[in-house]
């Protein structure tokens, strides 16, 4: 029976990487919300909640029905040499780093490769990559599908990203390919197109 407590301590160890308990706060419908270090302003429709647990210091995560059903993540002001996510505790390799010189397709590669590592999944395929605006800035839109190991489910995702003053801004939506993605994607596109970026003025303290 020696092995069972080991399994428990492993769970405890994994849990230590996250805050003890993520809290959710409901967001008011149709009101401006400052997001991810106040570098973005979003105006959600009803039903969205934001988590106190963040994927990284420069991001935040929203959901409507729970992360398993819809997940909206905002990254704002990711700087040269930073990763998109906090490093997973058990990871053998470092996560790829953002470079200010990255081209639009390379931002998509950064996103894909980071997620493959976080999810420990090679079942991840980017389908379409096209020019798009994030706020008033030129950027890239990409769509993809993936599967995580512990669920027999395909998820669909769509992200829009831009580099502004050498910093990365990215909004990403993920939901199960069955029903949930299609149900919400037009609302998400609307939210993203009305998003305002508030990059700090060049020279200002970060």
Structure tokens at 127: 């389908």
Closer CB to another protein, residue 148 or residue 185?
148
Q: Say how many CA atoms lie within 13 Å of 32 toward its Cβ.
A: 9
Binders of another protein in range 75-114 (CB under 8 A): 92-96, 99, 101, 103-106, 108-109, 112-113
- For residue 119, give the DSSP letter: H
Place of tokens 């199960």: 176
Residues 15-54 close enough to bind another protein by CB under 8 A = none
Binding to another protein by CB under 8 A, coded x per residue (else -) over 133-172, reads -------x------xxxx-xxx------------------
Quote the CA–CA distance of 96 and 11 in Å, as a whole number: 26
121: nearest Cα among 151, 147, 143: 147
Q: Binding segment for another protein among 2-10, 157-165, 166-174, 185-193 (CB under 8 A)?
A: 2-10
If the CB atoms of residues 42 and 108 are measured against another protein, the closer one turns out to be 108
Q: Is 116 in the site for another protein (CB under 8 A)?
A: yes
Nearer of residues 9 and 28 to another protein, judged by Cβ: 9
CA 139/CA 132 separation, integer angstroms: 5
**Which residue, 65 or 106, is less far from another protein as judged by CB?**
106
């Amino acid at each position: 029976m020696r092995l069972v407590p080991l399994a428990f301590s492993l769970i405890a160890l994994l849990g230590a990487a996250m805050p003890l308990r993520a809290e959710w706060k409901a967001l008011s419908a149709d009101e401006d919300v400052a997001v991810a270090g106040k570098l973005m302003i979003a105006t959600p429709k009803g039903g969205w909640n934001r988590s106190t647990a963040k994927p990284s210091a420069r991001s935040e995560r929203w959901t409507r029905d729970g992360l398993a059903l819809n997940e909206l993540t905002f990254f704002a002001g990711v700087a040269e040499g930073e990763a998109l996510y906090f490093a997973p505790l058990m990871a053998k390799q470092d996560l790829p780093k953002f470079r200010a010189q990255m081209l639009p397709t390379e931002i998509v590669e950064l996103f894909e490769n980071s997620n493959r590592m976080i999810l420990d999944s090679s079942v991840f395929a980017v389908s379409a990559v096209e020019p798009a605006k994030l706020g008033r800035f030129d950027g890239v839109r990409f769509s993809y599908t993936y599967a995580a190991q512990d669920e027999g489910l395909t998820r669909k995702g769509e992200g829009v990203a831009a580099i502004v003053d050498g910093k990365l801004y990215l909004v990403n939506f993920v939901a199960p390919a069955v029903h949930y993605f299609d149900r919400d994607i037009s609302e998400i596109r609307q939210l993203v197109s009305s998003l305002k970026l508030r990059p700090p003025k060049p020279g200002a303290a970060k």
